Amino acid sequence: MRLFVSVDLDANDELRTAQVPFETLDGVRLVDPEQVHITLKFLGSVDPNRLGTVETTLAESIAAADVSSFNAHAREYGVFPSHDYISVIWVGIRNDGGRLRLLHEAIEERMIEIGFEPADHAFTPHATIARMDHAGGKAHVQKILSERGPDLGQFDVSEIHLTESTLTPDGPAYESVSAFEL
């Protein structure tokens, strides 16, 4: 099983609107709005026999973070890994009072304790809305990034999901394995 820990976002009109500037660009592939999420921790390939341990550890991590449900704000565009080489286009998550970072840190710490690799990059709260397959539309993406990003309004964070990712020819497909209320 290929797993990650996430916060799911509603596929609302604002999210679809955020994707509009990118929908006709060469080399850009939009993420299905139903699959947009915030990744708190990528676990990678997990033996199904370890699923119970992962779920228990995740529940303990969330309890240790001591975070209740909250609102966050989605706004501004960003890219990974850099403006010169773009592979991922995202919207940033702000005004959450640092709660997403607290959840990430608690989950990261506990998952490392049970043998998962630490993240190889700093945590940036974001939701991927598109991917670049090649640099054809790079100049247009850079122009969009230089303009003011979208304001997608507030959204409720009340659950954390353990999500399975299945790679398909059309891109990854996600399915929630377990949900944990805050």
pLDDT digits (tens, 9 = 90+) for 9-46: 877 777 888 899 999 999 999 999 889 999 999 999 99
**Is the per-residue pLDDT at 123 higher than 80?**
yes
- The amino acid at residue 50 is R
Among 73, 83, 121, 126, the active-site one is: 126
Of residues 63 and 150, the one with the higher pLDDT is 63
DSSP string for residues in 51-107: HHHHHHHHHHHHHHHT---EEEEEEEEEEEE-SSSEEEEEEEEE-STTHHHHHHHHH
Let me know if 83 is a catalytic residue: no
Is 71:154 a contact under the CB 8 Å cutoff? yes
Provide mean pLDDT across the span 90-110.
94
- The amino acid at residue 165 is S
Provide mean pLDDT across the span 89-100.
91
pLDDT score at 172? 85
Let me know if 37 is a catalytic residue: yes
pLDDT score at 171? 78
Q: Is 38 helix (H, G, I), strand (E, B) or coil?
A: strand
Stated pTM of the model: 0.91
Is 28:141 a contact under the CB 8 Å cutoff? yes
Structural domains for the chain: 2-181 (3.90.1140.10)
